[in-house]
C-alpha cells in the first residue's frame, strides 16, 4: 500500500522558526509591560509544552507570586499571545527564514507523483500563512489539500487530534500517509494517529527521545546538501527522495495486520 499523502508539522520541520518565536515572545512581553525574558535554554525547555498560550501558562505556574498577581497574568495570556503572533509575523515577513533542506524538493516530488500535501500543526493559522507566503512562495499555500492548525482540536500534541483532523480532511487512512516532525512530542502525536513518521530534529530538539519515530535523519537533504555519511548508510541514498521514502514506508506497512501489499511508485500512486 503506497502512500497517498505527506503531512508536515510546521515549526522546526518546514523551517527553523523557533529562534524567531523566542524573540517574538520576548518583544511581546516587553510591549505588554511584563518583566520576563526567555533565554535559549529556558525556551528549549518550554518547547516541551505544545502551544504558545500553553507555554506562557506553564511559565507562570513555575513562578512564585501572590495569587492575585498569578490570576492577573493568566488573564493577560490572550493579549500576550496576540501581541507575540503579530510580532512573529512581522519578523517572518522580513524574509530571513528559509525552508529546511529537502522540504521543497520532496513536496514537489510528491505533487508530481499525485500525492496530496497537508499540514498538522498546533501553531496559529496566521503563523503558518506568514511562513509559507514569506519563506516558501506566494503559491505554496495552495499546494496543500488540508491545513489543520491552531486551537481547532480538543487536545494538542502529543495527543493525535490534529493528525486525526488532517486525515479526516484528506479522507485517507492513516497507513496511507507519512508524517514529518522535528520534536519528540510531534512524533508521539503522529504515531498515536497511526502514521509512519519521519523525524528531522532541529537544533532546539536534537537531544529529545526519537526512538518511536520510524526514521530519524538530520534533514531530508538535497543533492547539493547531502546527508551525513551515517544517515546515507541508513537509507542507502544521499537524500530522502519520494521513491526511497515509499520503499521505507511500505516495509513498515507490511508489518501491520490486515493491510494490503505495497505497490512501488512508478509515476503515480497505488
Q: Which residues are catalytic?
A: 9, 11
The answer to whether 38 and 80 are in contact (CB under 8 A) is no
The DSSP code sequence of 90-125 is: HHHHTT---BPTTHHHHHHHHHHTT-EEEEEE-S-H
What's the Cα-to-Cα distance from 49 to each of 53, 97, 156, 185, rounded to whole Å? 10, 23, 9, 8
Instruction: Return the number of other C-beta atoms located less than 10 Å from residue 268's C-beta.
Output: 11
Cell numbers linked to 186: 510531534
Nearest to 179 by CA among 171, 48, 153, 164: 164
Phi, psi of 142 (to 5 degrees): -80, -5
Burial bucket for residue 57 (CB in 10 Å: 0-12, 13-18, 19+): middle
Cell numbers linked to 139: 503559491
Instruction: Return the number of other C-beta atoms located less than 10 Å from residue 123's C-beta.
Output: 21
Q: Please, what is the angle between helix 18-31 and helix 52-62, to 10°? A: 60
Amino acid at each position: 500500500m503506497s502512500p497517498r499523502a505527506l503531512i508536515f508539522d510546521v515549526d522546526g520541520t518546514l523551517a527553523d522558526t523557533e529562534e524567531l518565536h523566542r524573540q517574538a515572545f520576548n518583544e511581546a512581553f516587553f510591549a505588554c509591560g511584563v518583566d520576563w525574558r526567555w533565554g535559549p535554554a529556558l525556551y528549549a525547555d518550554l518547547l516541551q509544552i505544545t502551544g504558545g498560550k500553553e507555554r506562557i501558562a506553564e511559565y507562570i505556574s513555575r513562578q512564585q507570586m501572590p495569587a492575585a498577581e498569578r490570576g492577573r497574568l493568566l488573564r493577560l495570556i490572550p493579549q500576550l499571545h496576540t501581541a507575540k503572533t503579530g510580532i512573529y509575523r512581522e519578523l517572518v515577513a522580513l524574509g530571513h527564514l528559509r525552508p529546511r533542506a529537502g522540504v521543497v524538493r520532496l513536496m514537489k516530488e510528491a505533487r508530481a507523483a499525485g500525492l496530496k500535501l497537508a499540514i498538522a500543526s498546533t501553531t496559529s493559522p496566521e503563523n503558518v500563512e506568514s511562513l509559507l507566503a514569506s519563506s516558501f512562495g506566494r503559491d505554496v499555500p495552495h499546494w496543500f489539500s488540508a491545513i489543520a492548525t491552531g486551537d481547532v482540536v480538543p487536545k494538542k500534541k502529543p495527543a493525535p487530534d490534529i493528525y486525526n483532523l488532517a486525515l479526516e480532511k484528506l479522507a485517507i487512512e492513516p497507513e496511507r500517509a507519512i508524517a514529518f516532525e522535528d520534536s519528540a512530542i510531534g512524533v508521539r502525536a503522529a504515531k498515536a494517529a497511526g502514521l509512519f513518521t519521519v523525524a528531522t530534529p532541529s537544533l532546539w530538539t536534537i537531544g529529545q527521545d526519537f526512538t518511536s519515530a520510524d526514521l530519524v535523519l538530520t534533514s531530508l537533504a538535497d543533492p547539493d546538501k547531502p546527508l551525513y555519511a551515517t544517515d546515507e548508510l541508513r537509507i542507502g541514498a544521499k537524500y530522502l527522495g519520494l521513491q526511497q521514502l515509499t520503499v521505507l514506508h511500505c516495509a513498515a506497512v507490511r508489518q501491520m495486520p490486515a493491510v494490503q501489499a505495497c505497490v512501488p511508485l512508478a509515476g503515480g500512486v497505488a
